[in-house]
Amino acid sequence: MVKSAYIHIPFCKHICSYCDFCKFIYNKDWVLKYLDSLKNEIDLDYKNEELETTYIGGGTPSSLSCDELEKLLEICSIFKLKPGYEYTIEFNIEDITSQKLELCKKYNVNRISIGVQSFNKSYLSLLERNVKVNIEEKILLTKKYFDNINIDLIYALPNQSLSDLKEDLDKYLKLDIPHISCYSLIIEEHTKLNNMHFKPIDEDLDYDMYQLINNKLTGYNHYEISNYAKPGYESKHNLTYWNNEEYYGFGCGASSYIENYRYNNSKNIINYLNKIYNKESEKIDLDEKIRLELILGFRKIKGINISDFKKKYNKDILELFNIKDLVKEEKLIINDDYIFINEKYLYISNEILINFV
Amino acid sequence: MNQEKIRNFAIIAHIDHGKSTIADRILELTGAVSKRELKSQMLDSMELEQERGITIKMNAVKLEYKGYTFNLIDTPGHVDFSYEVSRSLAACEGAILLVDATQGIEAQTIANYYLALENDLEVIPVVNKIDLPNADKEKVSSELIDTFGFTEEEIIYTSGKTGEGVDILLDRIIEKIPSPSGEENSKLKALIFDSAFDSYRGVVVQIRIVDGKIKVGDKIRFMSTNSVYDVVEIGYSNPKITKVNELTSGQVGYLCASIKNISDIKIGDTITLDNDPATEALKGYVPMKSMVFSGIYPLETNEYNDLRDALEKLKLNDASLMFSPETSKALGFGFRCGFLGLLHMDIIKERIEREFNINIILTSPSVIYNVYLTNRTMVEVDNPSNMPEKEVIDHIEEPYIKTSIFVPTEYIGPIMELCENKRGTFVNMEYINKTRVNIHYELPLSEIMYDFFDKLKSVTKGYASFDYDLIGYRTSNLVKMDILLNGEPVDALSMIVHKDFAYNIGKNLVSKLREIIPRQLFEVPVQASIGNKVIARENIKAMRKDVLAKCYGGDISRKKKLLEKQKEGKKKMKTIGQVDVPGDAFLEILSINK
């Protein structure tokens, strides 16, 4: 059963040096055509299910002008939402204005995710996010309209020290925002950072930073490797992914997971503007589905519920792969009907997850 | 076939002196291939040869020129392959000695020249690459005159690039190289100078008919193995494969006889007719002794049989490759292999991986040590892990070589320093001309196995050329050094070292291992020890970070691909004890600074 919808807006005013997602420089002519095609795609595929979450991400959805943003929200209002729904839109700090926030409010958006990345101007300029506004003021403005807010933070930046990170975290904590995603910088191929030959920071420092984050965010529920929330503010949309549940993906380069098929939309923007979607499909058979359940499920700190797994697949999770051995080696822990990665190995979880691919 | 009109010759040269390019021009000028068809360096057929720019396997090609038949037999140029050069030369009456006009005589120019003399060949000296702006024809020709006693008139000047002088060279071949002297009416004697395995035709044997003739349908006998076969196909390459019904004395070509049993074929063996055999075989040549030994193990243990198969097939056209089964505690079942030198080892490794698609591990290479025991017996040890206990050893001898290092005079100092650091003893120095010398040192063979070539290159900015001869065994103060991973000795990493150098080698080796073995889930000590005494130690730190970034917009397939790639990478590792060691580690440690 489809639980969520993701809508991709691939336009940005400026391309960040670390970004390897599907994105294009904002272009007014394209945006209108894009929204038109997006509406068409949704009309074609959406089967009127009641959804639990909607998420508008990018790119930078907030780079759209007020008129365009309203058009987008209008299109997305076609989604039927269950009571208790979560409806998120991503904002760039510079784009935050009362007008846009009010617009979101009007269309029932109830969660704002802000790509802050860092409070430190010199790291922001390294990431090519040249923020000319006061970050704190913009976040406080957002708080006037919304209480469910996420902030994205990137750490392990080139030359970043533990005390730099501590400063960022202190600034975050002072703002009293209920959700934070902390991602260690990965220098991906085909990014400006990679082209400029930046190298990842020392592995030990990276680990120490992760520990610092965990220690600073004690008032938060560390519910996924990189995500922390005040109780009740865990992202329902992300949980759809990690619980291996089904979702729609609309927009250029988006992926969907519907009735045991994965569909990947083409990243060709010209085709998309011309309403040619070229969805690549891949059947997810039972074996593959179980693998995904484990790879995604073990991202959650709480892990996978053993009884629920049994119910879903009619299989005992402990009998799969080498899970028994991993439990014996204390890489996986069983507690209270849940199986999860030993905290000690959480930050090297790939070493465990590769057993399931 | 009129034997008077046949010329069989090879091109011999120091590496990179332009041999393959000259061969291409000859092919073009004789019309064997049109310019359009000519892939650069036509004779280097193996993918690997073209990539490395060196010729490791010979090829014979038949050409027509001015009513004459030329059989051009290509030869390798590297120091490791002088044995193969002599195989090619045995099928020839003449040789073209090619020297680069910008470089002059180098170490293998001399080595190859003497091989040609040993085979009684007529040698035509050629100064090549005269199109280059820094070519110095006068200087190089005077080197040829002073070193080998050629006369000025004998020397030909060519450019493989522009083709200049190649026509003169072809005329000189007709004029100077003698025609073959065999008797077509005598009993068949054909020399096998190469062979290869073809999955459709079985073993393909390259032959030179010395006496008599051979026809399709003949029953032939291999004189050293006495095995008998029916000839099903005869032909030559021009350079397209062309089938014929017979080959007669003086001619060069190939034959197929549905030979599936690879061990029946020995390079250098003589083929005769089964019902009318020659009484005496041709002289053949003594296979060269392996100088470097290493264990070859499949990364996946179930590929052991495939590996044996690959080694057998490689041996077919590389008689110098030796192998026998062995086992290692760390690596399981594999083969002890003998090589002519390090490049030979490297090429075999790559051929196994590329042509046979088997991932392999090579253990630390070793020479053969003569180990004299206190009970007055001697054992030969080519695998450090088989070294007898210290208590029963009286003394150990190791092989020594004498070097020829050709180098501009300004590098004499660095060369001497390098050789002294490698336990070398200076012998003497010959001046080739005012600016270049040939330096002779005596060195333990084991000392050139590691980074000697790289060092030689770097201290002389690439200006040195190198060749060596084995001169015998000498007593040395040697010890066995073990490497321990996570407290467990790894037999495949044991090596024999000089006692005075052991500490430094051990220190460098463990630090190199720390670099190339990736972090593991737990901290892993790496130690070097002699007997029970640990002489160096480092720790491979525990892995701290290995985690997927944001699962963005549900793009889970990409994350899965990353995990798959990571898992694939693990497969290239060998688990020793509980430690994952990359297959390359065993070879990479060779680059340590001794």
Three-class SS string for B275-304? CCCCCCCCCCCCCCCCCEEEEEEECCHHHH
Type and span of the H or E element at B560: helix B556-571
Average pLDDT over residues B246-255: 94
Whether the CB-CB separation of A25 and A11 falls below 8 Å is answered with yes
User: Would B290 be classed as within a structural domain?
Assistant: no
Average pLDDT over residues A57-63: 95
Whether the CB-CB separation of A117 and A141 falls below 8 Å is answered with no
User: Would A169 be classed as within a structural domain?
Assistant: yes
Identity of the residue numbered B537? R
The structure's pTM equals 0.68
Same domain, A72 and A203: yes
Same domain, B384 and B436: yes
Same domain, A205 and A340: no
Same domain, B103 and B242: no
Identity of the residue numbered B433? N
The pLDDT confidence band at residue B499, using thresholds 50, 70 and 90, is very high
Q: Which of these ranges, A29-43, A149-163, B549-563, has the smallest mean pLDDT?
A: B549-563
User: Would B14 be classed as within a structural domain?
Assistant: yes
From A347's Cα to the closest Cα of chain B, the distance in A is: 5
CB-CB under 8 Å, A350 with B548 = yes
User: Would A182 be classed as within a structural domain?
Assistant: yes
CB-CB under 8 Å, B519 with A354 = no
> How many beta-carbon pairs under 8 angstroms link A with B?
95
Nearest to A357 among B552, B555, B567 (CB): B567
C-alpha dihedral, A67 to A71 to A76 to A82, nearest 10°: 60
Same domain, B548 and B485: yes
What's the rounded Cα separation, in Å, for the pair B353 and B498?
Answer: 33
CB-CB under 8 Å, A254 with B554 = yes
Nearest to A186 among B549, B553, B560 (CB): B549
Interface of B with A in 510-529 (CB under 8 A): 519, 521
How many domains would you assign to chain B?
A: 5
Whether the CB-CB separation of B333 and B325 falls below 8 Å is answered with yes
Same domain, A330 and A200: no
In B445-578, DSSP assigns E strands to 465-476, 478-485, 488-489, 495-498, 524-530, 533-540, 573-576
Same domain, A81 and A169: yes
Average pLDDT over residues B507-531: 92
From B234's Cα to the closest Cα of chain A, the distance in A is: 53
Q: Which SS3 state, helix, strand or coil, does residue B78 take?
A: coil
Same domain, A97 and A169: yes
| Residue where a domain terminates, one of A241, A260, A288 | A241
User: Which of A208, A279, A295 should be substituted to probe chain B, the one whose Cβ sees the most B Cβ atoms within 10 Å?
Assistant: A295
CA of B568: which chain A residue's CA is closest?
A354
User: Would A326 be classed as within a structural domain?
Assistant: yes
- Given a cut of 80, whether residue A209 has pLDDT beyond it is yes
Same domain, B43 and B167: yes
The pLDDT confidence band at residue B458, using thresholds 50, 70 and 90, is confident
CATH of the domain at B253: 2.40.30.10
Q: Which of these ranges, A162-166, B92-96, B551-555, has the smallest mean pLDDT?
A: B551-555
The pLDDT confidence band at residue B40, using thresholds 50, 70 and 90, is low
User: Which of B540, B556, B570 should be substituted to probe chain A, the one whose Cβ sees the most A Cβ atoms within 10 Å?
Assistant: B556
Whether the CB-CB separation of B251 and B193 falls below 8 Å is answered with no
**pLDDT tens for residues B125-156?**
999 999 999 999 999 999 999 999 999 999 99
Same domain, A123 and A22: yes
Helix axis angle, A66-76 to A98-106, nearest 10°:
20
pLDDT of the residue at B594: 42
- Given a cut of 60, whether residue B46 has pLDDT beyond it is no
Contacts of B567 in chain A (CB under 8 A): 354, 357
Same domain, A228 and A313: no
pLDDT of the residue at B57: 44
CB-CB under 8 Å, A186 with B545 = no
Same domain, B26 and B166: yes
Same domain, B99 and B45: yes
Residue with tokens 């590496």: B15
What's the rounded Cα separation, in Å, for the pair A245 and B76?
Answer: 63
User: Would A273 be classed as within a structural domain?
Assistant: no
- Structure tokens belonging to residue A214: 């965990």
Cβ atoms within 10 Å, residue B106: 28
**pLDDT tens for residues A85-139?**
999 999 999 999 999 999 999 999 999 999 999 999 999 999 999 899 999 999 9
Average pLDDT over residues A274-296: 94
Going from the C-alpha of A114 to that of each of A65, A90, A94, A266, B208, the distances in angstroms are 17, 6, 10, 27, 80
The pLDDT confidence band at residue B318, using thresholds 50, 70 and 90, is confident
CATH of the domain at A180: 3.20.20.70
Interface of A with B in 153-212 (CB under 8 A): 181, 183-184, 186, 203-204, 206-207, 210
User: Would B119 be classed as within a structural domain?
Assistant: yes
B567 and chain A in contact, CB less than 8 A: yes
User: Which of B544, B573, B578 should be substituted to probe chain A, the one whose Cβ sees the most A Cβ atoms within 10 Å?
Assistant: B544
| Residue where a domain terminates, one of A241, A264, A283 | A241
Same domain, B546 and B404: no
Average pLDDT over residues B113-122: 89
**If phi over 0 gives left and psi between -120 and 50 gives alpha, with beta otherwise, what is residue A253?**
left
pLDDT of the residue at B53: 40
Summary mean pLDDT of chain A = 95
Domain, as residue range, for B264: 189-273
pLDDT of the residue at B593: 44
The pLDDT confidence band at residue B241, using thresholds 50, 70 and 90, is confident
Q: What DSSP letter does each residue of B151-218 carry, written as one string?
A: -GGG-EE--TTT-TTHHHHHHHHHHHSPPP---TTS--EEEEEEEEEETTTEEEEEEEEEESEEETT-
- Structure tokens belonging to residue B282: 């041709």
Average pLDDT over residues A3-14: 96
Domain, as residue range, for A329: 304-357
The pLDDT confidence band at residue B319, using thresholds 50, 70 and 90, is confident
User: Would A253 be classed as within a structural domain?
Assistant: no
Q: A81 pairs with which residues across the strands?
A: A51
Please choose, from the candidates B528, B538, B429, B525, the residue with its C-alpha nearest in 3D space to the C-alpha of residue B483: B528
Same domain, B494 and B377: no
Q: Which of these ranges, A113-117, A211-215, B361-365, has the smallest mean pLDDT?
A: B361-365
% pLDDT > 90, chain B = 53
How many domains would you assign to chain A?
A: 2
**pLDDT tens for residues B393-416?**
999 999 999 999 989 999 999 999
Same domain, A29 and A168: yes
User: Would B436 be classed as within a structural domain?
Assistant: yes
Which residue blocks in B320-459 are alpha helix, DSSP H? Answer: 342-355, 412-421, 452-459
User: Would A283 be classed as within a structural domain?
Assistant: no
The per-residue b/e assignment along B495-515, b for 16 or more CB within 10 angstroms, e otherwise, is bbbbeebbeebbbbbbebbbe
Average pLDDT over residues A276-288: 93
What's the rounded Cα separation, in Å, for the pair B280 and A165?
Answer: 86
Contacts of A296 in chain B (CB under 8 A): 551, 556
CB-CB under 8 Å, A357 with B560 = yes
Q: What angle do CA A337, A342, A344 make, to 5 degrees?
A: 160
User: Would B311 be classed as within a structural domain?
Assistant: yes
Same domain, A62 and A177: yes
CATH of the domain at B137: 3.40.50.300
% pLDDT > 90, chain A = 96
- Given a cut of 50, whether residue B533 has pLDDT beyond it is yes
Same domain, B472 and B492: no
**pLDDT tens for residues B331-342?**
899 999 999 887
Same domain, A6 and A103: yes
Same domain, B395 and B451: yes
User: Would A88 be classed as within a structural domain?
Assistant: yes
Nearest to B553 among A210, A254, A282 (CB): A254
Same domain, B389 and B430: yes
Identify the burial level of A284 via C-beta atoms within 10 angstroms of its C-beta, where 0-12 means exposed, 13-18 middle and 19 or more buried.
buried
pLDDT of the residue at B52: 46
The per-residue b/e assignment along B322-333, b for 16 or more CB within 10 angstroms, e otherwise, is bbeebebebbee
Please choose, from the candidates B366, B339, B318, the residue with its C-alpha nearest in 3D space to the C-alpha of residue B491: B366
From B563's Cα to the closest Cα of chain A, the distance in A is: 6
Please choose, from the candidates B349, B357, B293, the residue with its C-alpha nearest in 3D space to the C-alpha of residue B56: B349
CATH of the domain at B346: 3.30.70.870
Q: Is the dihedral of CA B5, B8, B14, B18 positive or negative?
A: positive
CATH of the domain at B550: 3.30.70.2570
The pLDDT confidence band at residue B344, using thresholds 50, 70 and 90, is confident
Whether the CB-CB separation of B488 and B525 falls below 8 Å is answered with no
Q: Which SS3 state, helix, strand or coil, does residue B358 take?
A: coil
Beta strands A221-224 and A179-184 are unpaired
**If phi over 0 gives left and psi between -120 and 50 gives alpha, with beta otherwise, what is residue A321?**
left
The pLDDT confidence band at residue B272, using thresholds 50, 70 and 90, is very high
Whether the CB-CB separation of B407 and B437 falls below 8 Å is answered with yes
Cis peptide before B287, with omega less than 30 degrees from 0? Answer: no
The pLDDT confidence band at residue B55, using thresholds 50, 70 and 90, is very low
Contacts of B554 in chain A (CB under 8 A): 6, 241, 247, 249, 254-257
| Residue where a domain terminates, one of A241, A271, A287 | A241
Average pLDDT over residues A197-215: 95
Same domain, B137 and B19: yes
User: Would A266 be classed as within a structural domain?
Assistant: no
Higher-confidence position of A235 and A188: A235
